[in-house]
Structure 1
Amino acid sequence: MKSLSITCSLCLWNGLFKDYEEHLKTTHTNPACEFCGEKFDSKIRLDEHKQKLCTKIIVPCALKEYGCSNSVCRAQLQDHYLSYIHQKILASIMHRFASRTTNDQHEQGSGMDVDVGQSAPSSITTTTNENVRPQMQEVYETINILANET
Structure 2
Amino acid sequence: MKSLPVDCSFCQWIGVLNNYQKHLDQSHSNLKCEYCGEQFNSVNRFNEHKVFECQQLIIDCILKDFGCNKPIIRAKVKDHYLTQQHQRAILNVVRQLLSQLNDRQMVNDISRTTTAGTLNPAVVQLEELHEMLDILVGSIETLTNDEKHLTNESLQMQITLPTLIEELSKVKLSIEESNSFLEGVKHNQDILNQDLSSLQEKINDLQCISYDGTFVWKIINFQEKMSKLNSYSYPQ
Distance change in 2, residues 1:13/1:135 (3 Å): closer
Shift of 1:86: 0.1
Shift of 1:126: 3.9
AA paired with 1:145? S
In structure 1, distance between residues paired with 2:120 and 2:47: 49
TM-score, with length taken from structure 1: 0.69
The answer as to 2:123 corresponding to 1:138 is: no
Report the number of matched residues: 134
Q: Give the structure, 1 or 2, with the largest relative contact order (CA under 8 Å, sep 6 or more).
A: 1
- Structure with more helix by fraction: 2
Computing the radius of gyration over CA atoms, which structure comes out larger, 1 or 2? 2
C-alpha contact (below 8 Å) 1:58/1:74 kept by paired residues = yes
Structure-to-structure mapping, 1:1-150, within 5 angstroms: 10-12=10-12, 24-25=25-26, 27-109=27-109, 111=112, 126-127=119-120, 129=123, 132-147=126-141, 149-150=143-144
Where structure 1 has 5 or more consecutive residues not aligned to the other structure, the ranges are 1-5, 112-123
Shift of 1:136: 1.6
Q: Deviations over 1:102-123 (max 9, x none)?
A: 2311221264xxxxxxxxxxxx
AA paired with 1:147? E
Where structure 2 has 5 or more consecutive residues not aligned to the other structure, the ranges are 1-5, 145-236
TM-score, with length taken from structure 2: 0.46
Task: Give the aligned CA root-mean-square deviation in angstroms.
Answer: 3.5
- Structure with more strand by fraction: 1
C-alpha contact (below 8 Å) 2:24/2:43 kept by paired residues = no
AA paired with 1:101? L
